[in-house]
Structure 1
Amino acid sequence: MTALTRYARLESTGLWRPDPEAQRRDVIVSFGDATLVLSDVQGRPLTHWSLPAIERLNPGETPPLYGPDPDGLESLEVEDSDMVQALETIRRTVARARPRPYRLRLLGVAASVALVGALGVFWLPNALISQSLSAVPAVKRTEIGAKLLGHIQRLTGPSCRSPAGVEALAKLGARVFGPDAGGQIVVLPTQAFDALYLPGGIIAVSRALVEEHEDPAVVAGHVLATAAQVQQRDPLEAVLRDAGLRATFRLYTTGDVPTAALVQPAERLLAAPPPPPPAEVLVPLFAAAEIATSPYAYARDETGEETLELIEADPMAGRQPPLILSDADWIGLQGICGP
């Protein structure tokens, strides 16, 4: 976007509070690719906010306070006038760029419902979801994923962010998906799941997964297998089905999903994570990433009986795979939820 290009090199200081109970800390604020990047004073990234998700938490008050969701789970105080002007300009630009209702589209949907009649009860939800999925841009998927993550964090607690752990997560993502893959990996303080894939390429990993295993290949395998779910089913589809027809209709016509409509999808996703893809899907992906399937397979089933295909087809069997994380980075990742 033109506004983002204009401010690409702008940086300022700010006061960041990761959650309402935490102390504020000094951060460096800068712009990334469709994100606002908050880094510590040494330049190490602490978190990324999707630009379309950023909201002004205290309109009309000074100093301005911003957050990635209206509930203020995280907040950023900025006093630099140039940065404030940049944030407000980009927020206005994003607001103008969001899709608006189109009368013709509404008439088309209404005519379809009238034509199908009673069968529309069964036809409309699937058709509307299908049309919505094909029309949602990547930036909107990231915004929905960020909102969904916010609801999940209300149940699990805020994501863990020790500086060494955050740096190790970035290295893990680059090792598994490549240095330019994008997306985001976060660690949540929970044992309720191993890993979740959210719209927009956000992967949530449990604290138990990084703390209870000695081999980083286990975490890398879960991250890769979780991302592979997108080959089986669009993660946004499940979210829309749980959110309901009204929320899906609003996304289709206005390009937005009410934050409250994502509460139930977040709860269901946390209670029943999708199953991993079959071995025939996973093995080629592990081979391409040069990651052994055996550590991941035994982590899923200690006996190996239920994951025998992954063990027998391990693409790294008899080979030394490239290093996933150095010992120092692995220790940093395992301590990401520490004090």
Structure 2
Amino acid sequence: MTALSRYARLESTGRWRAAPGEGGREVVVSFGHATLVLADGSGLPLAHWSLPAVTRLNPGTRPALYAPDEAGSETLEIDDEIMVSAIETVRRSVARARGGPHRLRRALWPTLAVLAAFLGLVWFPGAVRREALEVVPLSKRTEIGATLLGHLQSRLGPACRDPLGAEALQQLHDRALGQGGHAVVLPLGPAAPLVLPGHIAVVPRDLVERAAEPAVVAGHLLAAEATLDGDDPLGLLLDEVGVWATLRLLVTGNLDPAVLEAHAATLLAATPTEPDADLLGPAFAQAEVPLAPWALDLDPTGDTVEDLVAADAYAQAEAPILISDSEWVALQGICQGV
């Protein structure tokens, strides 16, 4: 299954109940060959569920509740937004495959008609790009972001998943970038935080562990988004893949997996943008995050970041508390055991 291959490297935690009425145990959930693999913390597989048979017991409700069959003899509870999106994408792919060749032929003519319309009416690359950014829904952006995250994990290691640390990181993400997104810490990079389509933020482990206070991590998240200068992470991807790949996304809803892997490599190789005090000052003030701690993390001497320190809205005032001391300790230990 093409959809399955996109998520082969994704993992998340879940709560598995082997029989109704059990208290359940925490497991690591990953994709196998046409299966959903449930393993304990040491990596020992506990169960393999056939992906074509996996059933969602509570559509539209979180945490998502899955079973290996309609009887619900076993259940798996997942609260990880990225993994839930990936499972739902694979389930939809299976459902489409079951429609058979007749359904494919019926869908072909509308697809060709849409393609012809776009070739005739939306020819220029700029117009195609704008159209894509307007019509591609959040669910598809999250799917694209999850695929990119999978490629990053293949190079930088699986996401750190200490539950308390992940919760604290999510609080900083929501404070800096707003709700509706997700943040992960990868053990071996990237060089600077990244913002992927679907509001997925990627933070390197060393940044979290060296930071003097929560405002440093929140500041790096803010800077990662602010340096996009109002652009969309999906827009950066479309600029790289070109007009024909963008048209394919508009018509079929898909991008070639190879171009997503190439874009992940581009993101890792990119040089971090030089900070701009005029751009970052208002962004930090709006999020109510002090700017000076982040600036001094870039240059502890302060010599090269004087303009950033001067732009701090809290230079002469007490900065707000972003997370508690215990949450900060948990966040700095998010990669324990990795």
Same fold per superposition (TM over 0.5)? yes
Shift of 1:201: 0.5
The residue number in structure 2 matching 1:81 is: none
Shift of 1:230: 4.7
Q: Superposed, which structure 2 residues align to 1:249-264 within 5 Å?
A: 249-264=247-262
Distance 2:192 2:58 in 1: 31
The residue number in structure 2 matching 1:47 is: 80
Distance 1:221 1:32 in 2: 36
Q: Give the aligned CA root-mean-square deviation in angstroms.
A: 3.7
The residue number in structure 1 matching 2:125 is: 125
Shift of 1:220: 0.9
Is residue 43 of structure 2 the alignment partner of residue 22 of structure 1?
yes
Shift of 1:129: 2.2
Distance 1:275 1:269 in 2: 12
The size of the alignment, in residue pairs, is 280
Shift of 1:204: 0.4
**CA deviation profile, 1:36-81 (whole Å, cap 9, x unmatched):** 658xxxxx986323655326xxxxxxxxxxxx7x7xxxxxxxxxxx
Shift of 1:90: 11
Shift of 1:159: 0.4
CA pair 182-13 structure 1, distance change in 2 beyond 3 A: farther
Pick aligned residue for 1:313 from 311, 314, 317: 311
Shift of 1:263: 0.4
**CA deviation profile, 1:77-124 (whole Å, cap 9, x unmatched):** xxxxxxxxxxx589759x99xx985444322343469xxxxxxxxx74
For structure 2, the 5+ residue unaligned runs are: 1-14, 19-26, 33-41, 48-55, 66-76, 100-106
CA pair 303-269 structure 1, distance change in 2 beyond 3 A: same
Is this contact kept in 2: 1:228–1:282, CA < 8 A? yes
Is this contact kept in 2: 1:222–1:296, CA < 8 A? yes
CA pair 30-321 structure 1, distance change in 2 beyond 3 A: farther
Partner AA of 1:17 in structure 2:
V
Shift of 1:169: 1.5
The residue number in structure 2 matching 1:164 is: 164
User: Mean Cα displacement is larger for which, 209-218 or 305-314?
Assistant: 305-314
Pick aligned residue for 1:266 from 264, 267, 282: 264
Is this contact kept in 2: 1:293–1:311, CA < 8 A? yes
Pick aligned residue for 1:293 from 264, 278, 291: 291
The residue number in structure 2 matching 1:151 is: 151
Distance 2:325 2:45 in 1: 31
Partner AA of 1:206 in structure 2:
P
User: 1:185 aligns to what SS in structure 2?
Assistant: strand
Shift of 1:326: 1.7
**CA deviation profile, 1:307-339 (whole Å, cap 9, x unmatched):** 322211110112111212222111111111111
Distance 1:226 1:30 in 2: 37
Distance 1:89 1:139 in 2: 13
User: 1:186 aligns to what SS in structure 2?
Assistant: strand
User: Mean Cα displacement is larger for which, 193-202 or 164-173?
Assistant: 164-173
Distance 1:326 1:203 in 2: 21
CA pair 256-277 structure 1, distance change in 2 beyond 3 A: farther
Is this contact kept in 2: 1:16–1:24, CA < 8 A? no
User: 1:158 aligns to what SS in structure 2?
Assistant: coil
Is this contact kept in 1: 2:186–2:204, CA < 8 A? yes
Q: How high is the TM-score relative to the length of structure 1? A: 0.70
The residue number in structure 2 matching 1:64 is: none
Distance 1:17 1:301 in 2: 40
Shift of 1:302: 2.9
Distance 2:289 2:59 in 1: 29
Q: Superposed, which structure 2 residues align to 1:1-339 within 5 Å?
A: 13=17, 15-17=27-29, 22-23=43-44, 47-49=80-82, 51-54=84-87, 92=95, 102-111=111-120, 124-177=124-177, 181-272=179-270, 275=273, 278-339=276-337
Shift of 1:292: 0.9
